[in-house]
Amino acid sequence: MEIYDYIVVGAGSSGCVVASRLSEDPAVRVLLVEAGSDMNNFWVRTPAGAGKLFMDKRFNWAFNTEPVPTLGGRKVYWPRGKGLGGSSSINGMIYMRGQPPDFNHWAALGNEGWGWADVLPYFMRSETNQRGADPWHGGEGPLHVSDAAITHPTADDFIAAAQHIGIARRNDLNGPPHEGVAYRQYTIRNGRRHTSYNAFVEPVRHRRNLVVRTGVRVTRVLLEAGEATGIEVLENGERHSIGAAREVILSGGALASPHLLMLSGIGDGATLQRHGIVPAIESPEVGHNLQDHWFGALAWRVTAESSYNHRLRGLRKYLEGARYLLTRRGYLALGAAPVTAYARSEPGRPEADLQLTVSPMTFKIAPSGEPVIDDFPAIGASVVLLTPDSRGHMELVSPDPLRAPAFHPNYLSAPGDIRRSIEGMRMMRRIAQAEPLASRLIHELSPGAPVTSDEQWLEHIKTNGNSGWHQVGTCRMGSDAQAVVNPRLRVRGARRLRVVDASIMPRIVAGNTNAACIMIGEKGADMIRADALSARPAARPAAH
């Protein structure tokens, strides 16, 4: 059997970090396996290409949830990255870490070593910030974090209007006080998307002790007497096994990692038996504690100069394309909505629980999956509830590893989530009605001025809202007996098996999740190296 010291399953935001950091030790041999392909594609590397990847099944698992009762039976589309870099290759490139209370809350739940003071050094270690190093940011890390390539007057006016209603202007939303309104930063380097693969693996892929394989579908973790000994894979149409002398690390993300645990016999025993899977370790919370961000959307028709829709249509879009190819700047070098405000839905909240954003561009997704820029000047806005109390779950529907699980997100099932989301939508409208932004608006397109009551707002949020595509929590970290992994990220009841990705979050962070996933990869790799398990006596790594 082919044997490595460490096998990392999933080359996404966390997995690339883990594989890169573990392979810094030339004495160990690391295998990084990815079910998808290489992502070296023009639209992947072009920041504004994110819309084109939204439904492209070459690079996207393109999941759908089950009908969601709390949304009137809607199914919700969940894009997930498929290939080197994972979802960092198809996301909006927003670099937001979350807020200090998020991580202090993790620690308060019994996860020692996961407080803000503990995780900040890992955020900093991973980062080279365009603004330079300071007490909150790194200047020598693999991941490049940059300011928006260009600014727009409408974005400036959103900041001023937010100040008008009492939201403080900030320069850095990833540093104290972590609340207010500002321009965002992005994982973009020299005008090109900088994925976790580009940052952490691509520069070191020449290492002789690091092997990266794509097109490898892991079907289960091999377990012997409660110990992970390797993985079973489907590769080039053939099923075979690969051994791990030290550890198997699952970094497939919040949807793939719990699925793989279940397929391996780790989960709720009765459910596994119904699908013909022999239970190996009883862990009923696998796949539970599913959390995601839900957002409501608004849009306005605006004066001609207040939107850049016209710059991305007709002949002008070719001029923008040429500008990007020649300079790596312009509108094609932009990530998702450039400005955001972090605010509290209620005065007594311990942290900002709303993320309010505006983009001077609007589009619709055509039936073909292609984004189509609107042919009139408009701006769009979103209101994300950052700290939802609603919890969902995922479940097996088949023992076939190639068949996706069923996803039940249970959005807006907690009454407080509804109340706070509606308050956020009203706050966004108040910002839009404040000067100087108000002078740019002609009329509200969605949901429309007649929508004013709680019932109308809720119907709009349920019918036209969407996922923030930030699924987490399905392999919850904790020190209690029901947690799927312990604070060292070891799977409870199993030896030589860890989960290192978004699924370990006990509670979703109050921000976008990519930066936190990279931090988890950094910290997880440090834990693995610090614990330094010796090779299993029966295992011998492949020759270097």
Going by C-alpha positions, the residue among 117, 113, 120 that lies closest to residue 487 is: 113
Q: Is 269 exposed, middle or buried (0-12, 13-18, 19+ CB in 10 A)?
A: middle
Does 470 belong to an annotated binding site?
yes
Phi and psi of 241, rounded to 5°?
A: -115, 150
Q: Which tokens go with 107?
A: 């620690």
Contact 508, 388 (CB under 8 A): yes
Question: Which two structure tokens, joined as six digits, stand for 103?
Answer: 């991580």
Structure tokens given for 14: 């966390």
* Three-class secondary structure of residue 419 per DSSP: helix
Query: Measured between alpha carbons, how far is 255 from 249 in angstroms, rounded to an integer?
Result: 15
Tokens of 120: 């900040």
Task: Consult the annotation and say whether 78 binds a ligand.
Answer: no
Tell me if residue 470 is catalytic.
Answer: yes
Residues 510/344, Cβ–Cβ less than 8 Å: no
The count of other CB atoms within 10 Å of the CB of residue 326 is 9
Distances (CA, A) of 88 to 81, 296, 467: 7, 23, 17
Residue at 329: amino acid letter: R
Q: Is residue 38 within 8 Å of residue 219, measured between CB atoms? A: no
Contact 305, 153 (CB under 8 A): yes
Known binding residue 43? Answer is no
Give the number of C-alpha atoms closer than 13 A to the C-alpha of residue 33, restricted to the C-beta side: 26
Catalytic residue selected from 259, 443, 470, 544: 470
Q: Across-strand partners of 181?
A: 169, 341
Residue 21 makes CB contacts below 8 A (sequence gap 6+) with: 200, 521, 522, 525, 526, 529
Are the beta carbons of 321 and 411 closer than 8 angstroms? Answer: no
DSSP assignments along 242-269, one per residue: EEEEEEEEE-S-TTHHHHHHHHTTEE-H
Beta-carbon contacts of residue 102 (< 8 Å; ≥ 6 apart): 116, 351, 507, 509, 510, 511
Q: Which residues contact 400 (CB under 8 A, 6 or more apart)?
A: none
Q: Indicate the annotated binding residues.
A: 218, 469-470
Q: Indicate the annotated binding residues for FAD.
A: 218, 469-470
Which residues are known to be catalytic?
Answer: 470
